[in-house]
Structure 1
């Protein structure tokens, strides 16, 4: 029976490359000359720091652009708070991976509400969709791509 998995994953190697690219851009920008600003990646947390709020917003935009260049969905970044340390303003982001149970239930409900000829089941941090025909599975993928969900979804492990 054909099936596929719905997951929400980001490649950490690509995230590291995006952070390095943003750091290079930071060094090349004239409006950040002689300004104490930085980007740090620790585990699955990203910390951006700058001297002023405006500069911090520019830094966040640079980071999102670097993510876009690396084909990483910026919805994988979730704001994790802001802090002030001395003369620096810091913005913390968490990198979201995996589908939380609330979102998984919402995805399963969306599939069932459309009355498609597929079954969806939650398996840990992913959702497995099975059906009798490949066309039904492709229809489910198309429906989920059109849905406005606040997490990036990938469809893998497609089996016939």
Structure 2
């Protein structure tokens, strides 16, 4: 008989979709009337983004535009780590980071939830920045997925490698 059924719990982001959202936000900020003359810019450096504006309100509004574009491209806002607006000289900046992977504290919380409330015979294993869940029956794994979808762990979860 084959190995027990299993699936992986991961937190990944489609980088191409993030780039598309960035480009759309950049274009919208350059064409919208309420952003003209405010020096509002979204910049990308490596994997990080920075929003710069002359006023704090415009910087926050630009962040909302960027978030809106991410949501339209099916990127969870849980995977966006936005800092607080900070003053840098005469401008305000907001640093943004796209977070991938499940950090160990959250992985432990997810694992504990599965052990405490999941069906018997289902075993979670932490493997780096993801979890693998194995069980005797596929139905038990479906129950675990439903259980985790109800809970908010502060991280965008995807369920992959279901076999």
| CA distance in structure 1 between the aligned counterparts of 2:68 and 2:85, rounded to whole angstroms | 21
For the Cα contact (< 8 Å) 1:81–1:93, is it kept in 2? no
1:131 aligns with: 135
User: CA-to-partner distance for each residue in 1:82-134, whole Å, 9 max, x for gaps?
Assistant: 43233210000221110001000000000011141311000010000001111
Q: Give 5+ residue unaligned stretches, structure 2.
A: none
Q: Bigger CA drift: 76-85 or 30-39? A: 76-85
Q: Give 5+ residue unaligned stretches, structure 1.
A: none
| CA distance in structure 2 between the aligned counterparts of 1:65 and 1:131, rounded to whole angstroms | 38
Q: What's the secondary structure of 1:158's corresponding residue?
A: coil
| CA distance in structure 2 between the aligned counterparts of 1:125 and 1:104, rounded to whole angstroms | 8
User: CA-to-partner distance for each residue in 1:134-156, whole Å, 9 max, x for gaps?
Assistant: 11111101110110221100111
Pairing 1:141–2:145 present: yes
Q: How many residues are matched? A: 159
**Deviation >6 Å, runs of 4+:** none
Following superposition of structure 1 onto structure 2, how do residues 53-132 of structure 1 map, counting pairs within 5 Å?
Answer: 53-117=56-120, 118-132=122-136
Q: TM-score, normalised by structure 2?
A: 0.93
Q: TM-score, normalised by structure 1?
A: 0.94
For the Cα contact (< 8 Å) 2:110–2:153, is it kept in 1? no
| CA distance in structure 1 between the aligned counterparts of 2:57 and 2:156, rounded to whole angstroms | 28
| CA distance in structure 1 between the aligned counterparts of 2:46 and 2:119, rounded to whole angstroms | 39
Q: Bigger CA drift: 65-74 or 38-47? A: 38-47
